[in-house]
Structure 1
């Protein structure tokens, strides 16, 4: 099955040819194995005196293991999986490879102990065993290697994501006894879905079902995940749940505490602090806890006897790590499900194109409710299109169309009303009033923003204030708002509904919950708080701002954000109403009206297949200064079926920078005024591993040659990202 095998070849038993070339290009010529020798004559361990060490150097041409001698005094503690410090990095070639006493101390992991080495010379000795706690077992090492190969990255970089920083006090705490497995759960609200009860029974009986689950709107999703975890624990196996942020993690954590009681699962989020997080991670590795709920980094959690992996809301960008090699939670958990032969559950209120492909390929089965259940759980959705706005006197004078104003007024009689605004801030996008040319910074060409009423303009990229702006195209001095932010919207709504409290939730302050009393809650997408008893209504403003993004995922992302907000609204039978301000004939708007995110994803997948775009194909983004990029592409031995698209500018120069700061970071574009270019490399199904291996080979060779600027601050001058989120 192409989807199951494609992209995960790096984890198989046979090594792709290009990947073998990487390792061969950095491996010394084979010499006869010899007993290790140390140049100072130190006493060595009597058995297995060689430690094979993975050093913490995330550079591709050093992406291999290095041999060190094990002193006798470190023999007992220097076991596979422990953290060590070794000398590495200065002087001659041998010293750079860690073969002699010299260079600075660097962290690493022992991956195995050996009786002999293939290096014909004196080995440097291990300098220190940082901790006797074995934190890197063979399973985690194999998983990290497979992820590194898939994303054209280094093993050391993946392990930095997979193994949390050490905290000595957490290691010193005694491990409790593992709790007894719970009883199998009752189906509960899983009965609302076709085959939902059978899914739970399969998990409880030791099965490994794979499902793409389209959750019904409402708060029940967290308890439904908790019941799936309980069913897996009842079979004597472990479970792993990964959610995009700390707020949904807290909801699943609370649901598990209600169902299982304390001590049955670990919560792995950055909010817990270093000591608590490492303590929880150790409990999982030691086997005293067999269930994990966490955010992105938890995808590598070393759960014993893994029986189920769950990812919630896979379309959220927080599931893609922003550090090299940029692994995505969905892909890593697919890999774990394949390698560990465990259950897989991808759940969301919406549906991504990748999720639809899993179902179409047969790798996973759909887990959905029938239309009657959907109509009973979803709110009523109404639209305000361009023609309606043109005829609406209120919409021309203010930002709130008449229909939205009426729905908000009626909803406030019964509870809180949610107002979703695509942009944070006050007025984050401005343009010349006369010619509509976007207002840009004179220093970096970034977008100018208004921070508040009467405040000076400020660049959204470099932060420089602009006190005397004028349009370079027509010479005009007056500005108009292209996009109005959440703070400005809250200010306008406060004037429109003076007797109603207005709350905001966004980047500066994200609310978790709001009371069920009447109030206006203005939020940016993804920051919507949960209202007690659900929202009486929701207004989804400025739909064009999300649909008009020049990105392949614009429609999918807009629908996902709308569905996420609308799922917090009461059902239609309880008076729940949603108004979306967007052209009603557009496909994402129609999918929201019909509450059919799966149908939208299936149609998007069919169009992607015709055009050869991901996820039907595999794609990589390569960006850098023009000369460096051309040199890199000239030296890369790409697969014969690869198609190179570009280069195109990604910042600076005409037509000017495009995309959000997050999108530029996701594309690997560093800050600064220097021009960069980007190419997209596309290959058909089956060639993804070959593409990743060829890019990894080219990058390793470039770094090994010490290309000009290869060690500039911020990393190598050519940046590679496999399966980029943003290809607009």
Structure 2
């Protein structure tokens, strides 16, 4: 039984009943009478003799009703067992539920309603997956019913019927495959050639312990060198698994899933893709194939985090800091949280792959939860491109043009790159909220109370904090003690037009935004690709050069993690460029003295992230605090804070009125607590939401734990 279940009393065992007297021989009526006295039902249906009670968890019910309910098992639903879908009558309408257990006697004295229908005899939620859902709900202050709705795709009857027929046909024609020798299907040449995954010494040890039911569960984070494609390292790890072991790979974008799928197909590794973009019929057929174990390796994005892989031994999460891995539906779990729960409950190895280290993973590494897998030493020119920042020397050498957005050095990098292949130009995504910074040194203005970025209302308005509501009239820069501030405005909309005038004979392509994402195969050998972060294509031969424009603007977002996020996006772009040994080069156009830019130029330096962790520890920012956000109607938000019994020591910021055209009458509050008491905060918020649901309080309200954009 999970800790969440123990705390909330969801699975309390009934008091042991006295054994019923045995019926005399030839008097079966006495046993039936004893059963009838123990089991009270509503009228109009029969009940099975063996285990006549089903404990059912309902899907998507109100928060105060998020607990198991008991129903009587009819002869028509006699096959219902743990993990199967059923339909029951609840609150006057048919509701979907999952059977938790079959019982001999009820734990309540109320009359039981019948199971109306057994939807399918498929065990769609095994016991381990039910424990995962309970754990995720407890961590995110949500309901198990909502988590089940995220974990289960809608049933499709035609897809189920077709897959049953396919499974029966496979069973009838089953036989040893021609190349079924227990190998993974990796070509001999791929085994003998040096592999990127072999450069990371601890990876082999992690894979050797993956799926071991005894001993500690291996969990690690691996920050890749730019020259090592994540698809190759992930494929190396999957090919080294035991043939009977299952694996799950979660990537942020569907294009990333397709890239890994192509690599696995080239290596002859069988796999299945479970994607949220597929239609309901195709998705459910894929879900059933995974459920019955027809394939051992599953790829997918956020929606595949709950995929029911049999004999799951390894879970790989790619670029866990990508915002696409944040679930937008209640209870808003991050994929990282779901996979951690699966690793705990199913004892499967957990591996985080990324081109850049992240604050949450570094904190988990320092706490001992994750091991850090570093590559073997190698010459810098072989593992990354030549990276240069537009420093003071380069600017002074060019004169006035060195201060422009596209200096002459950037043009030279593009020309040199076009001699060898395509060139990538990354510009910040449009729509960033301008941050406020010192006019002299460029330090971002932060609230002295909660460390959130300060904002300005209108032209010439006052500085204020959008988190705690503090008005800052006497702001002074903590670095240079000056009082003048400015808004950091982004002007990147004309990049493509400017480059087309400078290089009229070169093919110019735009990826991202209204233009849509550019496919990898659509990049010609002599082209300039202007892209926004996350929309970069990955051509087979990689880019010959890359230009990272508007670095100061990327760092100037109104978010407390703007610098870490900027480095992540830059490193993802750098990972698409050839190594310096292959004439690959990268130019960063921005203030070269900024710590984030210096960290980008340095090779595998942890100084910047160490400083970020130290600053967050001193300011009580995540991950060194547990933070929750309450957003909703102003009166509902205020009443929730007044009626919810938060743990002692909880800091409350707000509620503060939201800004924007659609924010009229809405407010936002932030609560913060020590991370060692995170379960107390989650339980308190969960109880508050349930109490509000039971009272049928008016107004909309949303509660999120650890939202990424809280500060």
The Cα of 1:190 is off from its aligned counterpart by 2.1
The Cα of 1:371 is off from its aligned counterpart by 5.1
Q: How does 1:528-543 map to 2 (within 5 A)?
A: 528-543=536-551
Contact in 2 for aligned 1:559/1:597 (Cα 8 Å): no
Name 1:221's counterpart in structure 2: 230
Contact in 1 for aligned 2:248/2:298 (Cα 8 Å): yes
Query: Hey, what's the Cα distance between the residues in 1 that align with 2:84 and 2:205?
Result: 42
Q: How does 1:372-383 map to 2 (within 5 A)?
A: 372-383=378-389
1:57 is aligned to 2:48: no
1:580 is aligned to 2:588: yes
1:507 is aligned to 2:513: yes
Question: Which stretch shifts more, 213-222 or 320-329?
Answer: 213-222
Question: Which stretch shifts more, 347-356 or 601-610?
Answer: 601-610
The Cα of 1:552 is off from its aligned counterpart by 1.8
1:146 is aligned to 2:143: no
The Cα of 1:147 is off from its aligned counterpart by 0.3
1:628 is aligned to 2:636: yes
Query: Hey, what's the Cα distance between the residues in 1 that align with 2:496 and 2:226?
Result: 26
Match of 1:231 among 228, 233, 240: 240
User: Once the two structures are superposed, what CA deviation does each residue of 1:433-467 show, in whole Å capped at 9, x if it has no partner?
Assistant: xxxxxxxxxxxx999xxxxxxxxxxxxxxxxxxxx
Query: Hey, what's the Cα distance between the residues in 1 that align with 2:605 and 2:575?
Result: 12
Name 1:296's counterpart in structure 2: 302
Query: Hey, what's the Cα distance between the residues in 1 that align with 2:211 and 2:136?
Result: 29
1:305 is aligned to 2:311: yes
Match of 1:192 among 191, 199, 207: 199
Query: Hey, what's the Cα distance between the residues in 2 that align with 1:51 and 1:257?
Result: 44
1:565 is aligned to 2:568: no
Q: CA RMSD in A?
A: 3.3
Query: Hey, what's the Cα distance between the residues in 2 that align with 1:633 and 1:282?
Result: 44
The Cα of 1:386 is off from its aligned counterpart by 8.3
Name 1:92's counterpart in structure 2: none
User: Once the two structures are superposed, what CA deviation does each residue of 1:222-259 show, in whole Å capped at 9, x if it has no partner?
Assistant: 1211221222233x321111111111111222222233
Secondary structure of 2:240's aligned partner: helix
Secondary structure of 1:545's aligned partner: helix
Secondary structure of 2:49's aligned partner: coil
User: Once the two structures are superposed, what CA deviation does each residue of 1:57-105 show, in whole Å capped at 9, x if it has no partner?
Assistant: 34210111222222222223x333222222222xxxxxxxxxxxxx122
Query: Hey, what's the Cα distance between the residues in 1 that align with 2:555 and 2:502?
Result: 27
The Cα of 1:703 is off from its aligned counterpart by 1.0
Name 1:44's counterpart in structure 2: 47
Question: Which stretch shifts more, 138-147 or 165-174?
Answer: 165-174
Secondary structure of 2:142's aligned partner: coil
Match of 1:169 among 154, 158, 183: 158
1:357 is aligned to 2:363: yes
Contact in 2 for aligned 1:164/1:278 (Cα 8 Å): yes
The Cα of 1:395 is off from its aligned counterpart by 6.3
Secondary structure of 1:511's aligned partner: coil
Name 1:676's counterpart in structure 2: 666
Distance 1:80 1:428, change over 3 A: closer
The Cα of 1:30 is off from its aligned counterpart by 14
Contact in 2 for aligned 1:48/1:114 (Cα 8 Å): yes
Query: Hey, what's the Cα distance between the residues in 1 that align with 2:379 and 2:152?
Result: 43
The Cα of 1:143 is off from its aligned counterpart by 0.6
Match of 2:560 among 552, 572, 575: 552
Name 2:6's counterpart in structure 1: 15
The Cα of 1:351 is off from its aligned counterpart by 0.6
Query: Hey, what's the Cα distance between the residues in 2 that align with 1:423 and 1:327?
Result: 25
Normalised by the length of structure 1, the TM-score is 0.79
The Cα of 1:320 is off from its aligned counterpart by 1.1
Name 2:266's counterpart in structure 1: 258
Name 1:267's counterpart in structure 2: 273
Secondary structure of 1:562's aligned partner: helix
Query: Hey, what's the Cα distance between the residues in 2 that align with 1:132 and 1:724?
Result: 38
Query: Hey, what's the Cα distance between the residues in 2 that align with 1:373 and 1:281?
Result: 45
Query: Hey, what's the Cα distance between the residues in 1 that align with 2:686 and 2:4?
Result: 19
Query: Hey, what's the Cα distance between the residues in 2 that align with 1:343 and 1:374?
Result: 31
Contact in 1 for aligned 2:636/2:701 (Cα 8 Å): yes
Query: Hey, what's the Cα distance between the residues in 1 that align with 2:204 and 2:299?
Result: 22
Question: Which stretch shifts more, 65-74 or 409-418?
Answer: 65-74
Query: Hey, what's the Cα distance between the residues in 1 that align with 2:156 and 2:39?
Result: 33
Gaps of at least 5 residues in structure 1 are 1-9, 90-102, 432-444, 448-479, 658-670, 710-716
Distance 1:204 1:50, change over 3 A: closer
The Cα of 1:335 is off from its aligned counterpart by 2.1
Contact in 2 for aligned 1:626/1:677 (Cα 8 Å): yes
Contact in 2 for aligned 1:199/1:209 (Cα 8 Å): yes
Match of 1:114 among 103, 110, 113: 103
User: Once the two structures are superposed, what CA deviation does each residue of 1:114-142 show, in whole Å capped at 9, x if it has no partner?
Assistant: 22223333322222222232212211111
* Equivalent residues, number: 625
Contact in 1 for aligned 2:221/2:361 (Cα 8 Å): yes
Query: Hey, what's the Cα distance between the residues in 2 that align with 1:251 and 1:402?
Result: 35
Query: Hey, what's the Cα distance between the residues in 1 that align with 2:387 and 2:414?
Result: 13
Name 1:660's counterpart in structure 2: none
Query: Hey, what's the Cα distance between the residues in 2 that align with 1:192 and 1:134?
Result: 41
The higher radius of gyration belongs to 2
The Cα of 1:40 is off from its aligned counterpart by 2.6
Query: Hey, what's the Cα distance between the residues in 1 that align with 2:209 and 2:16?
Result: 51
Contact in 2 for aligned 1:386/1:582 (Cα 8 Å): no
User: Once the two structures are superposed, what CA deviation does each residue of 1:458-487 show, in whole Å capped at 9, x if it has no partner?
Assistant: xxxxxxxxxxxxxxxxxxxxxx9943345x
Secondary structure of 2:242's aligned partner: helix
Query: Hey, what's the Cα distance between the residues in 1 that align with 2:211 and 2:46?
Result: 54
Secondary structure of 1:483's aligned partner: coil
Match of 1:86 among 77, 85, 88: 88
Secondary structure of 1:686's aligned partner: helix
The Cα of 1:283 is off from its aligned counterpart by 1.7
Query: Hey, what's the Cα distance between the residues in 2 that align with 1:299 and 1:336?
Result: 9
Secondary structure of 2:686's aligned partner: helix
Name 2:693's counterpart in structure 1: 703
Distance 1:676 1:392, change over 3 A: farther
Distance 1:204 1:256, change over 3 A: farther
Contact in 1 for aligned 2:381/2:581 (Cα 8 Å): no
Distance 1:184 1:636, change over 3 A: farther
Name 2:149's counterpart in structure 1: 160
Name 1:330's counterpart in structure 2: 336
Contact in 1 for aligned 2:210/2:348 (Cα 8 Å): no
Distance 1:125 1:511, change over 3 A: same
Query: Hey, what's the Cα distance between the residues in 2 that align with 1:325 and 1:317?
Result: 16
Contact in 1 for aligned 2:229/2:575 (Cα 8 Å): no
Secondary structure of 2:264's aligned partner: helix
Contact in 2 for aligned 1:203/1:231 (Cα 8 Å): no
Query: Hey, what's the Cα distance between the residues in 2 that align with 1:504 and 1:268?
Result: 29
Secondary structure of 1:579's aligned partner: strand
Secondary structure of 1:297's aligned partner: helix
The Cα of 1:521 is off from its aligned counterpart by 0.2
User: Once the two structures are superposed, what CA deviation does each residue of 1:128-172 show, in whole Å capped at 9, x if it has no partner?
Assistant: 222232212211111101100100001111111111111223222
Distance 1:62 1:200, change over 3 A: closer
User: Once the two structures are superposed, what CA deviation does each residue of 1:405-460 show, in whole Å capped at 9, x if it has no partner?
Assistant: 121122122211111111249x99999xxxxxxxxxxxxx999xxxxxxxxxxxxx
Distance 1:415 1:624, change over 3 A: same
Query: Hey, what's the Cα distance between the residues in 2 that align with 1:489 and 1:692?
Result: 46
Question: Which stretch shifts more, 514-523 or 381-390?
Answer: 381-390
Secondary structure of 1:324's aligned partner: coil
Distance 1:532 1:246, change over 3 A: same
1:342 is aligned to 2:351: no
Distance 1:392 1:313, change over 3 A: farther
1:127 is aligned to 2:132: no
Question: Which stretch shifts more, 280-289 or 184-193?
Answer: 184-193
Gaps of at least 5 residues in structure 2 are 19-34, 437-455, 459-486
Name 2:621's counterpart in structure 1: 613
Distance 1:275 1:403, change over 3 A: same
